[in-house]
Structure 1
């Protein structure tokens, strides 16, 4: 087995589909939401209040700043999927081209990088989540099964002189390699 997808154990009885390519020449595998999720619009009262204050060079309260920041925080959409691949490969998670145009949905990190050692990690079994922010004017409901992103397997190169310590093992899930 070189590369592919499996359903994580907590979703084994939830009728999820494995990611698939939509056409014969498609590079990306479509990822869908594992649950119904409501993504709130960023254009909420606290955000607009702080934006107005900044525009008019006025100071916003710390409480208003924290509330506005909470509105801008990306939501993690569960896919219920994990991906296995070779050690010299990566799965890139990219936005679907229709999301910004038709739904106002963006991946705030541009792309997601799923390393080979994320698979079956101790923290979350390697479940892939998609970060999203809703820049639309109204809240957006994503239904279970809605396609939200695409995954592309790619090889990667290592720089000359890179001496990876073989004792460095991933010990956590989402965002754990940055610790």
Structure 2
């Protein structure tokens, strides 16, 4: 990542899948639109059913002191009843190219409509917004990521 500041790449294993890299629709848009990498059906919500992961085939790189926030598209809850399972996801800088899944970004969804919903390949499913962050005066974090999705704090 020597000269790279922030951006997106196709994750390993997705190079031959015609992946759409995230992009902004207008010059004043904060969010980069992410697209589904493949068709997936999200069942209508029932107690005990977990959210469904929707692959993007994308990974993100960024500078030290930054993270990528994944947020819902404003139209998904209103038009389709889809909401992010974690409401707001944080993609850390060290998630990029990790040994567990190469930093592959996925969105997790609950479907609160009355019927199953199928998301077609290349449908816009969410947005990513780059942010900077600060650390506390007494911060002493020295650990290193050892895996992919959900791996921090597990060692």
TM range (shorter): over 0.9
| Aligned-pair CA distance for 1:178 | 2.9
Higher helix fraction: Structure 1 or Structure 2? 1
In the other structure, the counterpart of 1:175 is: 150
Q: Which residue of 1 aligns with 2:76?
A: 99
Which residue does 1:62 correspond to in 2?
Answer: none
| Pair 1:150 & 2:109 matched | no
Aligned counterpart for 1:3 among listed residues 6, 13, 18: 6
Aligned counterparts of 1:32 and 1:155: Cα–Cα separation in 2: 24
RMSD: 0.8
TM-score between the two structures when normalised by the length of structure 2: 0.95
Of the three residues 40, 43, 53, the one matched with 1:40 is 43
Structure 1: how far apart are the matches of 2:141 and 2:12? Answer: 31
Deviations 1:120-174 (A, max 9, x none): 0000000001010000110000011000000000000001111122xx1101100
Question: SS of the residue aligned with 1:99?
Answer: helix
C-alpha separation in 1, matches of 2:70 and 2:15:
22
The structure in which a higher percent of residues are strand is 2
Distance across 1 between alignment mates of 2:116 and 2:36: 16
C-alpha displacement of 1:108: 2.1
Q: CA deviation at 1:17?
A: 1.2
- What SS does the corresponding residue of 1:100 show, helix, strand or coil? helix
Question: Higher Cα Rg: structure 1 or 2?
Answer: 1
Mapping of residues 47-62 of structure 1, within 5 Å: 47=46
User: What secondary structure, in the 3-state scheme, does the structure 2 residue paired with 1:117 have?
Assistant: helix
Q: What is the distance in 1 between the residues matched to 2:22 and 2:94?
A: 19
The alignment's TM-score, normalised by the length of structure 1, stands at: 0.83
Where does the alignment leave 5 or more consecutive residues of structure 2 unmatched? none
